[in-house]
């Protein structure tokens, strides 16, 4: 199933969003400072094709050793999954967004399990901001699974150190505090950290922000290991996909839109597919 999912995801890449294997996905408008949410329903998802290359004349791009995010959590009946984050999470919870599409797949693949998927995203949030509202806007939903997807605003706002790199110590402390709060909540069974996506589409190492994003990815990996929580490494997926699906090394328009911060329709598919694999769907 996981190999088939990767081939289906690659097919969606090859068709540049014309074949949406994870459901209809559209670019949502900017979020401002609002929060958004979507709860589990009985939506019908598009089935994964049995033939990974069903359209004549389409050649699948093949990655030599594709990074397949490992499953880090398994859903159970009556689970409540809450995604806490910034504008990427807010937009993802709108109709057609990546969290909404993930929810469609959950309901399609696990019918009758009464699983709810909720997006708690606020545009512009940093890790400290999310930590400050965690009790009132994430844990208040009585989640059994909490996904923390935060950091891209910290990448841009973290203080500079004397050597010119960004100081992520406050970011790490805020994420650790959120992990502690989730662990202290008796209802939370699983915690998943999502690594940041990207700022723009240039190959890794070409953007001013890449070194900070990569350092943040490593910090989150270390936090996941030291705390015994799951890691959904979206950054690995993006880095591996950049040269394959952006052969002209365009600064935006492949995975990220003109804002450089928010995903395109294809980026939404990447987000949905990564979470499907992280949840073993």
Residue 239: the pLDDT is 86
Q: What is the pLDDT of residue 204?
A: 83
Residue 54 has pLDDT above 60, yes or no: no
Confidence bin at 201 (pLDDT 50/70/90): confident
The whole domain housing 88 covers 2-44+65-278
Pairing of strands 116-122, 35-36: antiparallel
Number of domains into which the chain is organized: 1
In a domain, 15, yes or no: yes
pLDDT at res. 150: 97
Q: Per-residue pLDDT tens for 202-234?
A: 888 788 888 999 999 999 999 999 999 999 999
Asked if 133 contacts 122 with a C-beta cutoff of 8 angstroms, the reply is yes
What is the bridge-based pairing of β-strands 80-85 and 230-232?
unpaired
CB 275 within 8 A of CB 193: no
Residue 52: inside a domain, yes or no?
A: no
CA dihedral 187, 134, 166, 268 (to 10 degrees): 80
> Which tens digits make up the pLDDT trace of 119-133?
999 999 999 999 999
Query: Do the domain assignments include residue 56?
Result: no
Quick one: which of 215, 221, 166, 159 has its CA closest to 192? 221
Domain assignment of residue 54, yes or no: no
Rounded to an integer, the average pLDDT of 197-201 is 86
Does residue 49 lie within any of the structural domains? no
Q: For the chain, what percent of residues have pLDDT higher than 90?
A: 53
In a domain, 60, yes or no: no
- Write the pLDDT tens digit of every residue in 245-263: 888 888 888 888 888 899 9
The stretch 194-208 carries a mean pLDDT of: 86
CATH assignment at residue 183 = 3.40.50.1110
Assigned domain for 50 exists: no
User: What does the pLDDT read at residue 260?
Assistant: 85
Position 79 in a domain: yes
What is the arrangement of strands in the sheet containing 116-122, beginning at the earlier edge strand?
Answer: 35-36, 116-122, 80-85, 145-149, 190-194, 230-232
| 264 vs 41: which has the higher pLDDT | 264
Task: Give the pLDDT confidence score for residue 27 in this predicted structure.
Answer: 29
Mean pLDDT for all residues in the chain: 80
Query: pLDDT value at position 67?
Result: 66
Residue 18: is its pLDDT beyond 50?
no
């Amino acid at each position: 199933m996981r190999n088939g999912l990767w081939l289906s995801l690659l097919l969606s890449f090859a068709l540049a969003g014309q074949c949406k294997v994870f459901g209809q996905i559209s670019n949502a408008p900017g979020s401002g400072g609002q929060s958004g949410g979507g709860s589990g329903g009985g939506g019908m998802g598009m089935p994964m094709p049995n033939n990974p290359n069903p359209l004549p004349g389409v050649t699948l791009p093949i990655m030599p050793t594709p990074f397949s995010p490992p499953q880090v959590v398994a859903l159970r009946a009556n689970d409540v999954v809450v995604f806490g984050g910034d504008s990427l999470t807010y937009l993802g919870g709108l109709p057609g967004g990546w969290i909404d599409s993930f929810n469609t797949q959950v309901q399609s693949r696990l019918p009758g399990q009464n699983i709810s998927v909720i997006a708690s995203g606020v545009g512009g949030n940093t890790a400290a901001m999310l930590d400050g509202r965690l009790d009132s806007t994430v844990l208040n939903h009585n989640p059994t699974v909490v996904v923390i997807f935060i950091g891209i605003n910290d990448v841009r706002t973290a203080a500079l150190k004397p050597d010119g790199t960004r100081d992520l110590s406050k970011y790490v402390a805020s994420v650790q505090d959120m992990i502690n709060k989730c662990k202290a909540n008796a209802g939370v069974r699983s915690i998943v950290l999502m690594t940041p996506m990207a700022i723009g589409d240039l190959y890794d190492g070409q953007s001013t922000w890449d070194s900070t994003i990569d350092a943040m990815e490593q910090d989150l990996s270390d936090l996941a290991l030291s705390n015994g929580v799951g890691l959904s490494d979206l950054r690995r997926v993006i880095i591996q996909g950049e040269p394959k699906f952006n052969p002209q090394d365009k600064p935006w328009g492949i995975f990220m839109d003109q804002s450089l911060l928010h995903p395109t329709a294809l980026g939404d598919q990447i987000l949905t597919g990564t979470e499907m694999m992280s949840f073993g769907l």
